Amino acid sequence: MTISRRDILKSLTVAAASGSVLRVIPLEAAEYAHRMVNAEKTATEVYTPKFFSAHAYKTLQILCDTIIPSDDESKGAIEAGAPEFIDLLTSENSDYQRILGGGLMWLDNACVDRYTEPYLDCTPEQRKEILGRIAHRKNAQDDPSLGPGVEFFGLLRKLTADGFFTSEIGIAYLGYIGNTYVQEFPGCPPVPETRK
């Protein structure tokens, strides 16, 4: 029996609906999604979003970069392909489409109401302020109008982390070397004595 691209993506999104991809789906399935994205980028030199509009996809990229930026220690979410990973999963999951697609619209509208500009046109300080408001669930308890933004940003953070840590860059960052045979296990290091 052959498994299609759609079957694999459906299984990723169905399994991930209850929590983080890293805890729910096999790493091999996530790696398959990354291979699909990489194959498209190799063939066409650019990834074409499957669900998000050009504006929404650019906003998604900026948000992923904000969540896991590159630094001296590692490349970030953009280099790891997290936006493409999220777009691919979202293209096959109506709940993600509602939360992420609606959340990006909510974010732009909230920014227009607050700063007279959509998120992409806001200053770095304005972007930081609005994300600070939707980064914590307790803020939605104090201001119910933030509820959709909080739900959106919570899911986006999970999926960004999943897209990063299931990529080659993320796996290298973790130092994961796979299941390898160890001939000898030296045990745990001794516990240092505490002074009384």
Quick: pLDDT tens for 126-159. Answer: 999 999 999 998 988 889 999 999 999 999 999 9
User: ∠150-152-154 over CA atoms, to 5°?
Assistant: 65
In terms of Cβ atoms closer than 10 Å to its own Cβ (0-12, 13-18, 19+), residue 27 is middle
**Taking 90 as the threshold, does the pLDDT of residue 1 lie above it?**
no
> Looking at residue 74, what is its pLDDT?
87
pLDDT band at 178 (very low <50, low <70, confident <90, very high): low
Nearest 5°: CA angle at 163, between 158 and 164? 100
Q: What is the pLDDT of residue 10?
A: 54
Taking alpha carbons only, the member of 90, 37, 83, 81 closest to residue 62 is 83
CB neighbours (10 Å) of residue 24? 15
Chain centroid to Cα 192, Å, comes to 39
Mean pLDDT of all residues belonging to the chain:
84
Local structure of residue 120 (DSSP, 8 states)? G
pLDDT reported for residue 39: 84
Interval 23-42 mean pLDDT = 74
> pTM, whole model, 2 decimals?
0.78
Q: 60 versus 3: which is more confidently predicted?
A: 60
pLDDT at 18: 47
Looking at residue 190, its pLDDT comes to 83
Average pLDDT over every residue of 15-29: 53
Tell me the mean pLDDT in the region 101-122: 96
In 3D, which of 128, 127, 120, 111 has the Cα closest to residue 57?
Answer: 120
- Out of 3-17, 77-91, 178-192, give the one with best mean pLDDT: 77-91
Q: By CB neighbour count within 10 A (0-12 exposed, 13-18 middle, 19+ buried), where does 120 fall? A: middle
Closest CA to 89 of 165, 3, 17: 17
